[in-house]
Amino acid sequence: MPTPFKHPISSSKVGRPPAGDRGERVKDYPQVSFRLPKPTRDKLVALSLVTKQPQWRLIVESVDCYLRKLSRNERAQIARLTRIRTNR
């Protein structure tokens, strides 16, 4: 009979799970540094707090939203350029 003080062995991993878009570790993402006007930075911080989303994810979603508004030709150009950079 098991004693009440022993805990069942858990198969879950220790630590925080990867939080990247496709399960990657965010720590492994390339870093980017850029300057923002203070009002824009304040809005980004507030948006992150209200939506409980990390700032990097808000920027990713913003870029994706902007891309959806471009013409088909512009999106095709961007797709070509990102393939070229990925293949290097």
Q: Distance between CA atoms of 1 and 53, rounded to whole angstroms?
A: 47
Say how many domains are in the chain.
Answer: 1
| Whether this model's pTM surpasses 0.85 | no
* Residue 25 falls inside a structural domain: no
- Which residues form the domain of 74? 36-87
Q: Distance between CA atoms of 33 and 27, rounded to whole angstroms?
A: 15
pLDDT at 54: 93
* Residue 16 falls inside a structural domain: no
pLDDT digits (tens, 9 = 90+) for 3-29: 566 666 666 666 665 677 666 787 888
* Residue 3 falls inside a structural domain: no
* SS3 state at 32: coil
